[in-house]
Amino acid sequence: MTDTTAAPAFRGASLTEPDARTRRRNAAERRFRLLGVGAVAIGLVALVILLGSILNNGLSAFRQTYITFPITLDAAVLDKQGNRNPEEMKKVTTIGYGKLMQQALLDALDEQGIDKGDLTDKEIMALLSKEAPADLRDAVLADPSVVGQTIPVNAFATSRLDGYLKGRVTMESATRDANISPEQLQLADRMEAAGLIEKRLNWGFLTRPDASELRPEAAGLGVAILGSAYMMIVVLVLSLPIGVAASIYLEELAPKNRWTDLIEINIANLAAVPSIVFGILALALFINTWGLPQSAPLVGGLVLTLMTLPTIIIATRASLKAVPPSIRDAALGVGASKMQAIFHHVLPLAMPGILTGTILGLARALGESAPLLLIGMVAFVRDFPGAPPQGLLDPASALPVQVYTWTQRADPAFVERASGAIIVLLVFLLTMNALAIILRRRFERRW
């Protein structure tokens, strides 16, 4: 009898003095907590490094070096007929404009009293982007009335000069560079001092089409952004109704049997299929069998729809499942049909979840590049696609693929532009995710 009243042997005498076992347990807890903090810290550091390097490399892509000087658009050269007819003025090629520009630049240097050094006229002209005469020509053809006037022109500087102002190109590296010489850079220093050369915000990075390998300064994301936008429209228009309809059928109407189980498993598996596999499917089906054009946003949108559908279906089914059955009972109990119960009560309650899933699926599709490579969206596209719906069949590029193509190019100036494109992509993704969070908060209801 005395045994039962005695304190068990393992129990310590004092409450304030932890015994060995308690100390071990507490130590294990502290270790685990430290591990957790460490894991989070590693993640955060990685994120900071990633964002830091992208911002560090890419933010400069939004600013570009311009050379500003007055140019007299000589009517005798540009419009020999003198009737300002753009059709006839097209006969003057960019070479003609280039000569005019070269003269104007040299005149501007003389006027400012800038020492040209030993540089030839051609070497001075090489400070300008090769795109500059073409831009001037486009501007003149768009508005022929400027012919005969003297207008200030903001021309892109060549990417080497741009790199010099951004610190990418140095005097030392210029000695080994066939495209630029230290003498040219010294002239550029003098021009900058005189206010001819300046770094400014470059909206063209967002609005211009891609440019050739030799003209990184003129390359922009216009076609890629438009192409991505077209694809997102296609994905949204196709995957939201199909995905929601499929989910409603599977979740609310379909009998639960072996077939629906099989379908369910396959949808879950499809969500995990590598995206490039969808690309191969699209290449075989949409392009080879159906004969749809390559590089078209429609085809890209179709692939991404295939890829996004499982995500949307899973998210939609989860949010349908989260609607309490009592709501369905209530609706059926007052004599609503199954469809009425779903569309009047269940779907509105599930909507925030569905929209969140859709936006997250779209965000994933927006960042996807692998399937697009296979359907030819990696092509060099300089022409903007037309307005939808016809424009959906025009060749276009896509943001993530543009990043990929730019990183493939030799000129280091494209590294900066690729990082800039990543920033644009991230801004779009963050905006979409923020929208998803706002929608979820806004429409979240309690019952």
Partner 1 sequence: MNDMRLTERVVTDTAKMTARGVQVHYGTNHALKDVDVDILDKTVTAFIGPSGCGKSTFLRCLNRMNDTVASARVTGKIEMDGQDIYDPRVDPVQLRAKVGMVFQKPNPFPKSIYDNVAYGPKIHGLARGKAELDEIVETSLKKAALWNEVKDRLSAPGTGLSGGQQQRLCIARAVATSPEVLLMDEPCSALDPIATAQVEELIDELRSQFSVVIVTHSMQQAARVSQRTAFFHLGYLVEYGETGKIFTNPDDPRTESYITGRIG
Give me the least distance between CB of 331 and partner 1, in Å please: 7
Strand order of the β-sheet with 197-201 is 150-156, 63-72, 197-201
Half-sphere exposure of residue 374, counting CA atoms within 13 Å on the CB side? Answer: 19
Spell out the residues 6+ positions from residue 215 whose beta carbon is closer than 8 angstroms to its own. Answer: 129, 130, 131, 159
The span from the CA of 343 to the CA of 349, in Å, is 10
Nearer to partner 1, 321 or 345 (CB): 345
Considering beta carbons, is residue 36 or 333 the nearer one to partner 1? Answer: 333
Alpha-carbon distance of 294 to 380, in angstroms, equals 12
Of 167 and 335, which CB lies nearer to partner 1 in the complex structure? 335
CB of 256 to partner 1, least distance (A): 6
Is-contact 382 209, C-beta < 8 A? yes
The CA-CA-CA angle for residues 64, 67, 70, to 5°, reads 140
CB of 252 to partner 1, least distance (A): 10
CA separation, residue 25 to residues 12, 19, 357 (Å): 15, 10, 41
Minimum distance of partner 1 from residue 315's CB (angstroms)? 21
Q: Which CB sits closer to partner 1, 291 or 325? A: 325
Query: Smaller CB distance to partner 1: residue 30 or 344?
Result: 344
CB of 310 to partner 1, least distance (A): 25
Contacts of 245 (CB under 8 A, 6+ apart): none
Residues that bind partner 1 (CB under 8 A): 255-256, 324, 326-337, 340, 344-345, 349, 445-447
> Closer to partner 1 at the Cβ: 11 or 445?
445
State in angstroms the smallest separation of the CB of 332 from partner 1: 6
For residues 435 and 187, what is the distance between their CA atoms, to the nearest angstrom? 50
